[in-house]
Amino acid sequence: MRRAGALAIWAVLLAGCVGMQPPQAEAPAIYVLDARPAAKPARPQRDLMLVVSAPRARAGFDTAQMAFVREPHELEYFAKSRWADTPSRMLTPLLVQALEQTGGFRAVVQAPSAVPADLRLDTELIRLQQNFGTRPPQVEIALRAQLVDLRSRRVLSTAEFEEVEPTTREDAYGGVIAANRALQRLLARLADFSAEQSGGR
């Protein structure tokens, strides 16, 4: 009976310890940027090698946290949703693919590359945020691009691209869908810009 009583006490103590365990933290939802530009007729190919440098990001956007605003100049982040990587890193392969799709270059490679290139595309993510201060809410994405002639060390052209896409849901996932739609248009515009401006080399 003593043994049975001791076991009963241990069972109660163990149950109490289990009840005192901290609640499991909810895993954040992970999202990706995977937009692809719409197919267009291929441009005449130039005998040029283009290298795409890793995009930079302005303060507040060089993070895997998903940014949103409710008031001007006040940046906030979703607590239970995040990007799979920083948006600037996710942009690199998408830029390369969009530029390859134009058919205007002999080859498009990602920096760093051991292959000598003729041109370099530098980009900077200015912002990627969901704006809840508008009705309906919208995603805003802006990118600055600079095309550089590596042979002459001359900047051929610089431009900024911005796209806005309304969201159909007022949550992080709604922002992801809108971000990819806006990015699809932005990639197409950036690819056209690069192919056109490379003619000035």
Query: Counting runs of H as helices and runs of E as strands, what totals does the chain give?
Result: 3, 9
What CA–CA distance (Å, rounded) separates 130 from 70? 9
**Residue 1 to residues 8, 9, 10, 12, 14: CA-CA distances in angstroms?**
10, 12, 14, 17, 20
**Residue 185 to residues 13, 27, 149, 152: CA-CA distances in angstroms?**
61, 32, 25, 31
Confidence of residue 26 (pLDDT cuts 50, 70, 90): confident
What CA–CA distance (Å, rounded) separates 135 from 129? 15
How high is the pLDDT of residue 177?
97
Number of domains forming the structure of the chain = 1
Domain span including residue 91 = 2-200
Question: CB 98: neighbour CB atoms within 10 A?
Answer: 25
Q: What is the pLDDT of residues 78-123, one digit of tens each?
A: 999 999 999 999 999 999 999 999 999 999 999 988 889 999 999 9
CATH number at residue 15: 3.40.50.10610
Q: What is the pLDDT of residues 29-71, one digit of tens each?
A: 999 999 987 767 667 778 899 999 999 999 999 999 999 999 9
Q: What share of the chain is helix, strand, coil (3-state, %, to 5)?
A: 30, 35, 35
Is residue 132's pLDDT more than 70?
yes
Quick one: how far is CA 64 from the chain centroid? Answer: 9
Higher pLDDT, 16 or 111: 111
One-letter amino acid for residue 148 of the chain? V
